[in-house]
Amino acid sequence: MNAIELDNVWKSFGETTAVAGLDLVVPRGCIFGLLGPNGAGKTTTIRMVMDIIAPDRGEIRVLGQPNSGAILDRVGYLPEERGLYPKMKVIELLELFGVLKGLARQEARARAADWLDRFGLQDWGDKKVEQLSRGMQQKVMFIGTILHRPDVIILDEPFSGLDPISSTEVKEIILEQKERGATVVFSTHLMEQVEKLCDEICLINEGKAVLQGRLAEVKSRFGARNVLLAYDGQPDFLYDTSLVAHYDDYGHYVEIQPAEGVSPQAILERAVREVEVWRFEVKEPSLHDIFIQVVKGEAAREVPA
Ligand code: ATP
């Protein structure tokens, strides 16, 4: 059973089609990155999954069931707009979050206190929410999202507004949540976080999934893997066009784009016969490059001939 499934989901706001026939599968137990440029439809998709807005068409399932009622108690959701109750005390707000998701009051308070400790906010529990900085408020909302140990955690831009230390804390907690068996879906623009954290990704552009799958697969499917070589000697193999599509040579260091169908290993095997190899490295295309390539490619396709 998958954590989340969307079949041919559509949503328009007046003239704007925000989501246009989106198919999405989030397997259980993974960390899933929902990527896409501004206005791609990520937040609209997440809001539909959370049953805050209804799709015009299509089906949504969470943990194998229609996404309404009790099944959503098993989901933790961090919205993009962090609507907090400014006059409430932090600990009371967290207690309320827990109780609304079915925890006993005492249990909710104890868990909230532990998490505040973990985030270095132990002295802030009795302060009013409005006294906290924006980043601190975000951490409180994050605690509220995971307090009831949900099976599925959906985080809309969880890293926005966080300093590097807080981002690292959130990243570590996301990994811990996966280890305890939860599925984590998050939207972001930060490709670096995605590369480090995600098992699976979906790149959305103009309301459609344009790239989806396991991160390692997406990367190997996409773009040439260049080979970096530090060497001594005469690398005649660089002129062999059946092996090398393109190279950028600096005398003792060369970056090679292998010819189509040629593996980095094949390059290495030839290289060691001709030169002394000091260093050999396969450079994966970055997700950043893939993102730009795919999104720009889509845009180019839409330009009328
Ligand atoms: P970002 O990365 O900038 O947060 P996003 O991928 O989350 O973008 P959405 O917020 O889902 O994108 O917006 C998709 C499109 O739908 C945009 O064109 C947006 O203007 C439009 N849209 C979203 N919500 C509404 C709404 N309530 N009323 C009208 N238009 C909306």
196 and 234 co-located in one domain? no
Q: How many independent structural domains does the chain possess?
A: 2
Smallest CA separation from ligand 1 atom 24, residue: 44
CATH code of residue 122: 3.40.50.300
Q: How far is the CA of 79 from the centre of ligand 1 (A)?
A: 14
Q: How far is the CA of 19 from the centre of ligand 1 (A)?
A: 9
Q: How far is the CA of 5 from the centre of ligand 1 (A)?
A: 21
Q: Which two tokens stand for residue 198?
A: 């995600």
Smallest CA separation from ligand 1 atom 26, residue: 13
Q: How far is the CA of 44 from the centre of ligand 1 (A)?
A: 6
What's the domain range around 250?
224-283
Give the model confidence (pLDDT) of 135-158 as tens digits: 899 999 999 999 999 999 999 999
122 and 206 co-located in one domain? yes
29 and 87 co-located in one domain? yes
Q: Which residues line ligand 1 (CB under 6 A)?
A: 13, 16, 18, 36, 38-44
- Ligand 1, residue 46: give the atom nearest the CA: 11
Average pLDDT per 10 consecutive residues for the chain, totaling 305 residues: 96 96 96 93 96 96 93 92 82 94 94 94 92 90 95 94 89 95 92 88 93 87 82 96 92 91 93 96 82 74 52
Entry pTM: 0.82
Does residue 292 lie in a domain region?
Answer: no
